[in-house]
Amino acid sequence: MNERVVVVDDDAIILKNANLILSEAGFKVTCLKSGKLLMDYIAVNDVDILLLDIRMPDMDGFDTIYALREWESNNSREAVPVIFLTANEDSDSEAKGLSLGAMDFIKKLFSSEALKIRVRNIIDLKKLQRDLNREVEKKTAELKSLSLHVVHTLAKTIDAKDSYTNGHSERVADYSREIARRYGYDEDRQEEIYMMGLLHDVGKIGIPDAVINKPGKLTDEEFGMIKKHHVTGAEILATVSEMPKLVTGARWHHERYDGRGYPDGLKGEEIPEEARIIAVADAYDAMTSHRSYRDIIPQDHVRSEIEKGMGSQFDEKFARIMLGMIDEDTEYKMHE
């Protein structure tokens, strides 16, 4: 495909020469006499590169590139590479043009070969940058997919230690993401809290299976082991520098809104928001899962317990979202 070059200059001779040289080189050339005409043109046409005169009446080259960049930003468009055409060497003008995003300067007494080479080099450079960005995005997506697979596998390993909570981490992650979505988190933050939910119990790796699966009442020493899993999990996840917020869910999902939780006794807004969301999701799943000493708790009782915990165990706004989810689940499908 012929690359699309737009030349903007109020000098008809410059337009004619640039058009002749670039057309012969195989470019598709459009010539315009003002910055205003360029803005009208670019609104409905794609452009691969722009040659722009600095000195023009009404809108000069600087006004034009500023308007162009603002339009591109407002319309989520990729920045068109700009070469300024200048009649003389002016270091101040060059510095200003570069600061506004120009990629090169060409004196108006250009040779045909120099013009063709510079235009071709910049177009090829932009193409290389686009290809590189696509490759980076592709590899990032692959790494994200791989990371998610690793996290899922780790979550399943954690849940496998407890014979009575199969799939607990996945459900807590799902409930947390849905609460976050309803609260207004964007997609990136929803995925972030989903990952936190998957790994909120990672510290249980360090607890003996006999303690986790004990059917009777735990001793004080055994309960102390359980309470330590928050700190252990946070220490494990603190090594994942790429996702520092993973620590949040692991360490603070058993804090209470009234300050009577653990491990740090945080209260109210002191508790990170994501941990307050996970706390509701975690409590809900604990009540709607089988235990060695009981079956799944009836839905109306679960709802009553969530409601009762508003303002004490739970942040009220997230508990209310959970209540809405319960009320919509008329067939009681949200359980293990």
In sequence order, which residues have a C-beta less than 8 Å from that of residue 335 and are 6 or more positions away? 288, 289, 296
CA distances to 31, 199, 247 from 254, in Å: 67, 14, 13
DSSP 3-state of 170: helix
199 with 171: CB under 8 angstroms? no
CA distances to 61, 142, 184, 185 from 237, in Å: 52, 21, 26, 23
DSSP code of 314? B
Report whether the peptide linkage leading into residue 272 is cis, meaning its omega lies within 30 degrees of zero. no
Which residues face 28 on adjacent strands? 4
In sequence order, which residues have a C-beta less than 8 Å from that of residue 97 and are 6 or more positions away? 54, 61, 62, 65, 82, 84, 105
The string of DSSP letters for 4-44 reads EEEEE-S-HHHHHHHHHHHHHTT-EEEEESSHHHHHHHHTT
Active-site positions read 204
C-alpha 181, offset from chain centre:
14
